[in-house]
Amino acid sequence: MPISPGSAFGPYEVVEILGAGGMGEVYKARDTRLNRTVALKFLRSEDGPGASASILREARAAARLNHPHIAAIYDVVSDPERPFFVMEFVEGESLASLVARGPVPIDRVIRIGAELSDALAYAHRQGLIHRDVKPSNVLVRPDGGVKLLDLGVARDAGADPMATTRTPTSSVGIKGTPAYMAPEQLLGHAPTAQSDVYSLGAVLYELTTGRRPFVSVDVLALAVAIATGPAPRASTHRADVPKALDDVIARAMARDPAERFGSAQDLHDVLEGFRTTGRLPAMADVPRRAGRGFVAVLAAVTISLAAGAFWYSRHRVPPLGPAPTLVLPVLNPAEDSTIESLGVGFASVVADNLATASGLTVVSTQSATARALNRDPLALAHAVGAGYVIALSMRPDEGRVRLDGRLLQAGRVVPVWQDVADGDPLTVERRLMEGLAGALALHGILPRPLTADERGRLSRLPTDNASAFAKFAEGRTILERAPDRPAAERAVAAFAAATALDPNFGLAFAGLAQADAQLYDQTKDPVWIQRATDHATHALSIDPNRSLVHVSLARVYRAAARYDDAERHARLAVSMSPQSDEAHRELANVLNARGDLDGAVSELRTAVALRPEYGTGYATLGYLFIIHARYADAIEPLHRATELNPSDANSFQLLGTAYHYLGNLQQAIGNYEHALRLHPVANAYSNLATLYYSDGRFQDAVTAYLEALKVDATSPTTHYDLADTYTRLGQQPDARREYDEAITRALAKLNVNPADSESMVLIAASEAKLGRFGDADRRLAEALAMGPADVDVAHKAAVVQALAGRPDAAIASLGQALKLGYRASFAADDWDLRSLRNDARFIALIQQYRSK
């Protein structure tokens, strides 16, 4: 149907058309729910459902980005008639309009280049390549800043008369605008971060000179000029171009990717440095891209299309040691959801089997990460100190699976071993494992010869039922993504289906136990702990020699506060599979529960080194620092977690918490709000409410706490904090109801974990605020016995004693809390400690710890 002002698409009401191009039409619209202006981009109907689905997939990937110089994607709507996505509406003009008026002042060129390179560097760290950087895809705001458009969704060339989408000889498909495309793109090779750097260089050339770097009315002639000619010099057409800027643009546009800047970040650092110091460095002082020459780079691109790998140049980790190390990426070129799940399942089983070969370290990567980044697999080996890559590429093949497996050695382009298998998933995996076993032994990769029993264990499969394996793989994929409650319920259903299809599938029972434990975390219903214990124990009886089974048991026993049993199974898992980041993470969680912070941090650092591209390890490390009041230490790992998993609301919520406790409220609010945009996380609502409370906005705090309880009504802390807020509003009946509810919820947690000191001290504080000081003192004594070094216990002990009119004891407890990491600024403003504010000892404590 025609679109005109007033047309409505769900909550979006069209205001006016903004433009049209190769991908479709763009309209200004109003989001009636949030009363904000947005831009709607409708896809062309003639592209067909396949093309629309591809574009929408890419839009969903780009929607996770959050950067000041990238136009945000708010929503992706798969309307069967007119699919569209909803973008940030940016006031201003396009960069194409700006440059059409002539060359741009040099300082403005540098500012625009710095902002665009910063945006591209951020996108590249998230695994997204723009593919079509050009002036018409950049908007200039009234304040002079820029916003990059269509990141991750640029697939066509737009209205540019020089644009095309495919050359007849390309097997990959050229996507972009030839005048701004890198030579390797024009040759039909996959776009990379380096090709984006080239395109940005071409944009800077045009801004500086007022003309494109290569001009031709014939597309083929244009492509030949770009692919064979040297990088043009802006100074040829503008005499006042500083030599340093001339060199910067030429370096960005070098024909050989190895001669360009090492990354968009390197280009940004150079340009931003000029903005702050007023000078550009000599290009000889700026590192080029590490790697081989142009021909070898193109060969590596071809390999990466088949193998898929991860490379993040700015966060390298040292080699893990002299033992042979293999990295295991799985590529899903067809972007098929079933294949993606099978890839995760394959990787987990292959890695677990390879762990049976003593001294061998295996680093497993997520199929989604490998697919998104699509880089040189040997670069991944270098990044994690691995000597070899087991690169798996999986495709659907008429109801079956086609798998291309390669064993690559660092420093060699030709595979050490390769095989292609076609059939049902188990047949394919069995053939792969048998071939790998032979190759590893033949080429001396293993530290010692394999016994016959070891060879058998290396190639074994956890089930003979292909359907059961598919359900197991589905469940593992969900668990990899740190699921919320609905996702955990889907994981339970998938694992349960696998165990029903094969009652002797030990790994499926282990996965079911982990999913049960996830549901306990989210519901606090003790039924799930009992189910988890039963399933984990059954998994052990079926398959006692698999590391993942012991990880599951440790996870369950930790949730049930059976710490001796949890540590025993976690250490067994690590001893069976010392290369398993999952085993090390679980051991870290157990050690933390036992109060061994140093041991927990050590295990988490090992987990991160083993799997440096997996955000969960960094998020867990950041969480550990937060709960031990080491907020500054939490910032770096949590930033890394958000970079690696930009769709994980929990990581943004934790990062907001760290900033909150460090007193950086703007950063805290920004991260909390972004977490809520990604997913309604209860903790993000609660933390926002705490900020409102601190600012005296008590009614806003009540609203936010109630939103948190809609997501998770089982949290005793949220009920307690809501009661405090009602108290400040003078709504005593509401406050008493919520304190009682906090006690009820905390008792439910104690029924599962009788050693939960934080639940015990929350009950003590709630009882004190209800005036029941005898009960409060009894609970406080128990909490202090359970957690004598717990900062929350020490703080609430001070609260209970202050409310009971015992200032000496309150001051002593507050001193302990501050020593353990409680913020002096929070203590100074704590309403519950107001009776101490005129006490000289209180004032001295605040001054002492504020200075630290």
Q: If pLDDT is split at 50, 70 and 90, which confidence band does 751 have?
A: confident
Q: If pLDDT is split at 50, 70 and 90, which confidence band does 771 have?
A: very high
Q: Where are the domains of the chain?
A: 8-88, 93-290, 304-458, 753-850
pTM for this predicted structure: 0.48
Neighbour tally for 279: CB within 10 Å: 10
Out of 230-239, 323-332, 434-443, pick the least confident. 323-332
Joined tokens for residue 228: 């064979």
Q: If pLDDT is split at 50, 70 and 90, which confidence band does 519 have?
A: confident
CA–CA distance, 618 with 588 (Å, rounded to integer): 12
Residues 6 or more apart whose CB falls under 8 angstroms from that of 302 comprise 189
- Of the candidate CATH numbers 1.25.40, 1.20.1270, 3.30.470, 1.20.1060, the domain formed by 753-850 belongs to 1.25.40
What's the rounded mean pLDDT across residues 173-185? 72
Neighbour tally for 228: CB within 10 Å: 9
What is the pLDDT, as a whole number, of residue 60? 65
Helix (H, G, I), strand (E, B) or coil at 722: helix
Out of 36-45, 271-280, 590-599, 715-724, pick the least confident. 271-280
Catalytic machinery residues: 132
- Write the single-letter amino acid at 544: P
Cα angle for residues 26, 29, 32 (degrees, 5° grid):
150
Q: Which residues of 353-376 are buried (b: 16+ CB within 10 A; e: fewer)?
A: bbbbbeebbbbbbbbbbbbbbbbb
pLDDT greater than 50 at residue 661: yes
Q: If pLDDT is split at 50, 70 and 90, which confidence band does 145 have?
A: very high
What is the 3-state secondary structure of 646-669?
CCCHHHHHHHHHHHHHCCCHHHHH
Q: Computed over its alpha carbons, how large is the radius of gyration of the chain? A: 29
Paired strand residues for 94:
139
CA dist 755 → 533, 594, 739, 747, 779 (Å): 18, 10, 21, 11, 12
**First CA to last CA distance, the chain:** 65
CA–CA distance, 534 with 546 (Å, rounded to integer): 17
What is the pLDDT, as a whole number, of residue 755? 81
Closest by CA to 196, choosing from 266, 275, 145, 93, is: 266
Q: If pLDDT is split at 50, 70 and 90, which confidence band does 529 have?
A: confident
CA–CA distance, 330 with 13 (Å, rounded to integer): 43
Q: If pLDDT is split at 50, 70 and 90, which confidence band does 185 have?
A: confident
Residue 215 Ramachandran class (φ > 0 left, ψ -120 to 50 alpha, else beta): beta
- The four Cα atoms 99, 103, 106, 108 give a dihedral, to 10 degrees, of -20
Residues 6 or more apart whose CB falls under 8 angstroms from that of 77 comprise 9, 10, 83, 84, 85, 86
What confidence tens digit (pLDDT) does each residue in 6-44 have? 888 889 999 988 876 545 688 899 998 888 899 988 876
Share of the chain above pLDDT 90, in %: 29
CA–CA distance, 851 with 485 (Å, rounded to integer): 43
Give the count of alpha carbons within 13 A of 40, CB side only. 28
Rounded to the nearest integer, the mean pLDDT of the chain is 79
Residues 6 or more apart whose CB falls under 8 angstroms from that of 334 comprise 395, 396
Joined tokens for residue 95: 């960069």
More confident residue, 54 or 203: 203
Identify whether the C-beta of residue 182 lies closer than 8 Å to the C-beta of residue 256.
no
The single residue listed with the structure tokens 């500054």 is: 632
Q: Please spell the DSSP secondary structure of 231-295, one letter per residue.
A: PP-GGGT-TT--HHHHHHHHHHT-SSGGGSBS-HHHHHHHHHHHHHHS-PPPGGGS-B-SS--HH
Q: If pLDDT is split at 50, 70 and 90, which confidence band does 364 have?
A: low
CATH code 2.60.40.150 for 8-88? no
CA–CA distance, 327 with 364 (Å, rounded to integer): 6
CA–CA distance, 606 with 623 (Å, rounded to integer): 16
pLDDT greater than 50 at residue 319: no
What is the pLDDT, as a whole number, of residue 227? 62
What is the 3-state secondary structure of 730-752?
CCHHHHHHHHHHHHHHHHHHHHH
pLDDT greater than 60 at residue 313: no
Joined tokens for residue 164: 């095309």
CA–CA distance, 689 with 702 (Å, rounded to integer): 7
Residues 6 or more apart whose CB falls under 8 angstroms from that of 608 comprise 317, 581, 617, 618, 621, 637
CA–CA distance, 574 with 584 (Å, rounded to integer): 6
Joined tokens for residue 756: 């939960």
- Write the single-letter amino acid at 607: A
Helix (H, G, I), strand (E, B) or coil at 14: strand
Joined tokens for residue 504: 């002797």
The single residue listed with the structure tokens 């950041």 is: 622
What is the pLDDT, as a whole number, of residue 721? 95
What confidence tens digit (pLDDT) does each residue in 69-81 have? 998 888 888 776 7
CA–CA distance, 787 with 242 (Å, rounded to integer): 64
CATH class of segment(s) 93-290: mainly alpha
More confident residue, 203 or 540: 203
CA dist 156 → 44, 120, 399 (Å): 11, 19, 31
CATH superfamily of 304-458: TolB, N-terminal domain (3.40.50.10070)
Out of 57-61, 778-782, 813-817, 843-847, pick the least confident. 57-61
What confidence tens digit (pLDDT) does each residue in 193-209 have? 999 999 999 999 999 99
Identify whether the C-beta of residue 563 lies closer than 8 Å to the C-beta of residue 579.
no
On the question of a common fold for 93-290 and 753-850, the answer reads no
Residues 6 or more apart whose CB falls under 8 angstroms from that of 197 comprise 117, 120, 252, 260, 261, 263, 264, 267
Polymer length of the chain:
852
Closest by CA to 496, choosing from 517, 515, 481, is: 515
What is the pLDDT, as a whole number, of residue 502? 94
What's the rounded mean pLDDT across residues 595-600? 88
Task: Name the DSSP letter for residue 39.
Answer: E
Closest by CA to 156, choosing from 22, 252, 336, 257, is: 22
Out of 63-67, 386-390, 755-759, 764-768, pick the least confident. 386-390
What's the rounded mean pLDDT across residues 741-751? 92
